[in-house]
Amino acid sequence: MLDGFKKFILRGNVVDMAVGVVVGAAFGAVVTELTKAFLTPLIALLVGKADYSSLKFTVSGTTFVFGEFINAAISFLLIAAVVYFLVVVPLNWLMVRMRKQQAPARPTTKKCPECLSEIPIAARRCAHCTQVVMASVA
């Protein structure tokens, strides 16, 4: 039973996925801190408050703090942009270049000029209507 578990864990795709999750979490933390350290103050300059992460409004005694949501949304957009432009676009480009263009297959049949039935390329007479047909030169 442990042998099967060991084979499962050591499979390449499981290990790759684990590495991706760990690196993704670390990258997310870096982007979040970048947002808090640099982008929050820049946006605060536009809004006119020293720290817009504490922006809130109150409706009927309920307080809605939306500044942290703005930080989270900016972090998400930055992570999504980096993943798209540094992972998805290059991978799609690579897949297109690796995909070999196959030449179209040579036709094996032709249409009878009389009855429009499909007949072999080398046929000299249509099997359906017995019309004499010119043989195609291959």
Q: Which helix (H) or strand (E) holds 108?
A: none
Range of the domain at 117: 106-138
Q: Residue 68 class from Cβ within 10 Å (0-12 exposed, 13-18 middle, 19+ buried)?
A: middle
- Cα–Cα dist 53/73, whole Å: 12
Give yes or no: residues 92 and 126 share one domain: no
Is pTM, for the whole model, over 0.85? no
Tally of domains in the chain: 2
Give yes or no: residues 23 and 74 share one domain: yes
Q: pLDDT at residue 138 above 50? A: no
Name which residue leads in pLDDT, 113 or 98.
113
Q: Is beta strand 56-59 parallel, antiparallel or unpaired with respect to 109-111?
A: unpaired
**Count of CA atoms in the C-beta half-sphere (13 A) of 43:** 17
Residue 4 lies in a domain: no
Residue 45 lies in a domain: yes
User: Could you report the per-residue pLDDT of 113-129, keeping only the tens digit for each?
Assistant: 888 889 988 888 888 88
User: Could you report the per-residue pLDDT of 20-75, keeping only the tens digit for each?
Assistant: 888 888 888 888 888 778 877 777 777 776 666 677 888 999 888 887 787 788 87
Q: Which two tokens stand for residue 89?
A: 């676009």
Locate tokens 């080398």: which residue?
122
